Structure 1
Amino acid sequence: MKAVYVEDAEKVEVKNIEKPEIKENEVLIKVSVAGICGSDIHTYKGLHPFRKPPVVIGHEVAGEIVEIGHDVSRVKIGDRVTVEPQLGTGESEGEMTGNINYSDERLAPGMDDWLGTMADYFVSPESLVIPLPESVSYDRGVLAEPLAVGVHASLKANIQLTDRVAILGAGPIGLLTLAAVRADGVENTIVTDLLDYSLQVADELGAKETFNIKDQKDWINTVKEKMGGSFDKVLITAGVPGIVNDALKLLKKGGRAVTVAMFHNQQQIDVEQLQQNEKEIIGCMTYNRPDTEKAISIIEENNIPIENVISHRIGAERAAEGFRMVDKKEDQSVKVLVTFND
């Protein structure tokens, strides 16, 4: 079968490897589409904390079950599915509390001997497989995993209907976080970014306002003026230097910022803002099953055109081009899907 490897930093190759065998509690999925995620780009650049080259990359997937293990009973051959790609292992606070994202040890595609989703076939434990409604295409179904990140971020922010909400960053995670917030009926939203074409997608997803902060020295005050004041909640979906303090400056007294993006460099934090104004910074890590289930419901309801985040569909043989495109923001790329078994 074809499999997409990140061989080394910024080096992607497609190889032919043996189709994997399944265990008694696993299923084999014939992959239709796999998404290139921001965390995949971190692996591509050699920066990911636990997913290291060489590795079959990918954790977003949609496809059809073609084989099931002897102990599998909840799903069957022919089911159209996606996967929640994280597994708690060993004794941990996460497993004891039902929050798998808290697990002391987590297994994900691209770790140990679990191959990633960018291949003709992908093996998953039955417990992580989630059937897709018939009305949901594979292209939209593959967005369930990144949308679940946005759903969990909205939950951690405790966003209320009347809140004024800023989302800092219009990459795929920022846009799908916007979709999650809008699905909850929140209207007073603004999205900031440096790229007009990404902000156009935010408009299409229902942002009340968008703002390009490029070369805008006083953008924080400008954004506040556009929205009529400081913000109740700020969702940080770009891990760039200084962005946490920017979020604090946007917040009203008692407001809450949530860190959604993956950060690799230390951030300076203005403790005076936290203490004197009782502002909060909340961490946010992936999602749990209720978040994924809600994400699929949002997709099924089809009230928000989340498929607008998809800018490119490319065959597996062009995977290296896709990774470069996402990394370098080429060809107005937003969400790039890699297709298999066409």
Structure 2
Amino acid sequence: MKACGICGADLHFYKGDHANIPYGFCLGHEGSGEIVEVGAGVINVKSGDRVCIEPQVGQYSGLITHFYKHKADKVHKINDHVTYEEAAFVEPLAVGLNGVRRGEIGKTGRKNVIIIGAGPIGAVSILCSKAEGAKWVGTCDLLEARLQAAKKIGADATLLTKPSMTSDEVAAALQTLHPVGESVDVIIDAVGITSTLNTAFKLQTTRSPRRAYYGPHYPDAARMVNDGVVDVKPLITHRISMDQFEEGFRLLLDGNSGAGKVIFQL
């Protein structure tokens, strides 16, 4: 293993939000590394290849480590110009890409997008929306640092919200962001809590809620990074070593740290 990002799901595990986690459970599913050995009959990769790792059901976590065994058909080669840290970002990028494609963004009549939340998943949703042909993308967040990063990667308009704002107030403020005379075609909730879902429903006149993970889009996300279709580098704010394990999680728990994506260099 060479690099692994910290996901919001990892943060919940770290905080103890999930019960019945066995002792020794290893976190991490946003990873990349170098092949050191292959099994008999493996022909798609060889020792020395640089790859990103597509998680599997039943084999999802465990990448914050030094060595990891995985199915050969679920690792994807990365080009020499792509850093291991960028390659670790393929997994969250695939989450964003799945949501964007489920929303059919970029297709006829689906050009204006609002993304609620500008954290890592909101940010990759901005990148994917633009890559898929969105004309206008707006976003909102409680943290100004996230909104500044969103502007750098293509957000056309941003809204700084406050914890005291109701869903109605956030929805009304978001309605003022998009181009005059045009409607919002797609809403992506990149937070997924009750208040943000309520905001999304108040914005959307025709409701067609869909839950998105990353489905079959991991290989496409890897190609997007390899081909330079998207640039995830601005979203990586901290690179830390394994001996700074707890510091990495503390950065993400501190709303004033300015942390975006924190990546372990393994």
Contact 1:59 1:85 in 2 (8 A): yes
Residues 105-164 of structure 1: CA deviation (Å, up to 9, x unaligned) = x31233xxxxx0111111111121111122211111111111000111111111135522
Which residue among 65, 73, 82 is the counterpart of 1:127?
73
Q: Which runs of structure 2 are paired with 1:14-163 in the superposition (5 Å)?
A: 31-48=1-18, 54-86=24-56, 106-110=57-61, 116-161=62-107, 162-163=110-111
Following the alignment from structure 1 to structure 2, what is the Cα–Cα distance between the partners of residues 61 and 248? 34
SS at match of 2:94: helix
- The Cα shift of 1:318 comes to 0.2
Deviation per CA, 1:235-256: give whole Å up to 9, x if none: 11112332212101112x33xx
Q: CA deviation at 1:216?
A: 4.6
| Alignment pair present for 1:204 and 2:152 | yes
Aligned partners of 1:50, 1:172: CA distance in 2, in Å? 27
**What is the distance in 2 between the residues matched to 1:53 and 1:285?**
27
The one-letter amino acid paired with 2:31 is: V
Match of 1:164 among 108, 112, 115: 112
Matched residue type, 1:220: A
- 1:337 maps to 263
TM-score normalized by structure 2?
A: 0.91
Most deviating of 120-129 and 194-203: 120-129
C-alpha RMSD of matched pairs (Å):
1.9
- Determine the C-alpha separation between the residues in 1 that align with 2:261 and 2:23: 22
What amino acid sits opposite 1:332 in the alignment?
Answer: G
Q: Distance in 2 between matches of 1:336 and 1:52?
A: 25
| CA pair 133-202 structure 1, distance change in 2 beyond 3 A | same
- Cα–Cα, structure 1 residues 301 and 231, in superposed 2: closer, same or farther, change >3 Å? same
Any idea what SS the aligned residue of 2:173 has?
Answer: helix
Structure 2: 5+ residue stretches without partners = none
Q: Which residue of 2 aligns with 1:250?
A: 203
Tell which deviates more after alignment, 314-323 or 178-187. 178-187
Task: Give per-residue Cα distances to partners, 1:41-67, cap 9 Å, x unaligned.
Answer: 121122348865541111111111011
C-alpha separation in 2, matches of 1:120 and 1:329: 30
Q: Percent identity?
A: 30
Match of 1:312 in 2: 238
Q: 1:221 aligns with which of 172, 176, 185?
A: 172
Partner of 1:284: 212
The number of residue pairs the alignment matches comes to 259
Question: Tell me, what secondary structure is at the counterpart of 1:206?
Answer: coil
Partner of 1:7: none
Choose the corresponding residue for 1:194, options 125, 133, 142: 142
Q: CA–CA distance in 2 between the matches of 1:301 and 1:117?
A: 25
Contact 2:105/2:133 (<8 A) preserved: no
Structure with max Cα Rg? 1
1:293 aligns with 2:244: no
1:230: how far off?
4.4
Q: Distance in 2 between matches of 1:163 and 1:79?
A: 39
Secondary structure in 2 matching 1:337: strand
Amino acid at match of 1:224: Q
| Local SS of the residue matching 1:231 | coil
| Contact kept in structure 1, 2:131 and 2:230, CA below 8 Å | yes
Structure with more of its chain in strand, by fraction:
1
Task: Give the TM-score normalised by the residue count of structure 1.
Answer: 0.71
Matching residue within 167, 184, 189 for 1:236: 189
Task: Give the conservation status (yes or no) of the 8 Å contact 1:85–1:109.
Answer: yes
Residues 20-55 of structure 1: per-residue CA shift (max 9 Å, x gap) = xxxxxxxxxxx1111101111121122348865541
For the residues of structure 2 that align with 1:83 and 1:50, how far apart are their CA atoms?
Answer: 26
Q: Structure 1 segments of 4 or more deviating over 3 A? A: 48-54
Q: Check whether the contact 1:187–1:207 (CA below 8 A) recurs between aligned residues.
A: no
- Match of 1:295, as an amino acid? A
Matching residue's letter, 2:213: M
Structure 2 residue matching 1:331: 3-state secondary structure: coil
